[in-house]
Amino acid sequence: MQYNIAVVKGDGIGPEIVSEAMKVLDKVGEKFGHQFNYTEVLAGGCSIDANGIPLTEETIEICKNADSVLLGAVGGPKWDEVPSEKRPEKALLGLRAALGLFVNLRPAQMHKALSDACPIKPEIIGEGFDILVCRELTGDVYFGKHYRRESEKGWGEVGADDMNYSVYEIERIGRRAFEMAMKRNKKVCSVDKANVLETSRVWRETMHRIKDEYPEVEYSDMYVDNCAMQLVRNPGQFDVIVTGNLFGDILSDEASMITGSIGMLPSASMNETGKGMYEPIHGSAPDSAGKGIANPIATILSCAMMLRYSFGLMAEADAIENAVETVLDAGHRTADIAAKGEKVLFTSEMGELIRPQLYHWQTAPQPRAAPLLLFDKGGRAASVFVAKNRIKRNKCARSQAKHLTSCLYLCQKEICGAET
């Protein structure tokens, strides 16, 4: 099967992390018999440098005609003095509008291997958390009217931004959130500021109407300031959070940081037909650009979301996620997730460790106990005995994993073992 992907590497670390993600996709194609065709286009700061504007009609048309879009990151201090209508970030807004991308899905999941990197106390984390933030993308203050005027009180110039939402926009994102919750833990928390903002009052009234369409889902309302507090106080209480563009932008970044690193989390922006633009949630990190130290995992996991949500390739998406989990479980880290004294990998080294695991991984039914294989860097295998429904690895298996470059992902993330 062939898939055409428009690639926007963008600015800063974008080219480095996207290049690693493309290599992972190529390995997926090799293993599963697919061909991914890439068309690289400019957007953001690099487009300003080349074309004088952040987003050209040519880029828009190529992205429209592609099966999906893979994006790195845009922006940086180099373009801080550019007029607001030509800033690099306008490329993102333009692509979202042109492609009709109305929902942004941002998962925030605690990887057990990275629990030490979480800034929240272990007793608060408990068994971990798995949050999905559904952020509306095409409305709110980002797409409202932006203008300046003179203060009526004689206080000088006033900046103003129009925040608004229609019932249609709220119903559309609300139903998508409920549909996602039906496939997860059946909980939806709608976040607004209805005690102050008229926009939020319309939001809440609309959500209350559509929640009755999903009686199986536990529904709650929460003010955005309380939600920001609850995310660090008790993140495990959340399943699906649905909110507007502005609040979602802020809360999804907060949710990402409590996982240990913003460099770990992917995102998917989708339209009503399932076409999407996939990108890491972090920025362009210009200070790290060109040094080869950026974490490519968020971009690689964004590719997994692309395979699952736009192409319907479930096993292929699982293979990527399992490969990443395997490498993390084996103790490999880039600078952003490394503890003091741990070896730090370069961007390309992390990609080199992940790709072989794609080829070794395969779906298989799990017996109560089964021998699985750990693969070292040279492809040599060592047998490890794994029992189902146990979480803790015994010391010998844990010690062995640290000395192997990576290990075969254990189905459904059930990890333990003793050498056989």
**What is the pLDDT averaged over residues 38-66?**
97
CA triple 198-131-184, angle to 5 deg:
105
Residue 121: which pLDDT band, with cuts at 50, 70 and 90?
confident
Angle between helix 347-360 and 297-309 (nearest 10): 40
Lowest mean pLDDT among 82-91, 142-151, 173-182, 389-398: 389-398
- Per-residue pLDDT of 297-337, as tens digits, reads 999 999 999 999 899 999 999 999 999 999 999 999 999 88
**Same domain assignment for residues 179 and 285:** no
Indicate the residue among 258, 284, 317 that finishes a domain: 258
Question: Count of domains in the chain?
Answer: 3
Q: Is residue 352, in this structure, part of any structural domain at all?
A: no
Residue 377: which pLDDT band, with cuts at 50, 70 and 90?
very low
List the one residue out of 7, 39, 73, 13 whose CA is nearest residue 348.
Answer: 13
More confident residue, 111 or 26: 26
What is the pLDDT of the chain when averaged over all its residues?
84
* pLDDT at position 126: 73
Compute the residue count for the chain: 420
**What is the pLDDT averaged over residues 95-120?**
85
**What is the pLDDT averaged over residues 351-367?**
73
DSSP state of 405: S
Q: Is residue 346, in this structure, part of any structural domain at all?
A: no
* pLDDT at position 263: 77
**Same domain assignment for residues 254 and 279:** no
**Same domain assignment for residues 130 and 228:** yes
- 95 pLDDT above the threshold of 50: yes
Tell me how far apart the alpha carbons of residues 301 and 21 are, in angstroms, rounded to a whole number. Answer: 8
- 253 pLDDT above the threshold of 60: yes
* pLDDT at position 259: 83
List the one residue out of 70, 127, 152, 99 whose CA is nearest residue 275.
Answer: 99
Domain coverage including residue 331: 1-101+275-341
List the one residue out of 6, 28, 30, 29 whose CA is nearest residue 18.
Answer: 6
**Same domain assignment for residues 220 and 177:** yes
- Per-residue pLDDT of 219-237, as tens digits, reads 999 999 999 999 999 999 9
* pLDDT at position 362: 64
Q: What CATH number does the domain containing 238 carry?
A: 3.40.718.10
Residues classed as catalytic: 142, 193, 225, 249, 253
**Same domain assignment for residues 26 and 97:** yes
Q: Is residue 264, in this structure, part of any structural domain at all?
A: no
Cα dist. 362→10, 28, 81, 113, 399 in Å?
34, 12, 51, 22, 24
**Same domain assignment for residues 199 and 302:** no
- 239 pLDDT above the threshold of 70: yes
Indicate the residue among 258, 291, 320 that finishes a domain: 258
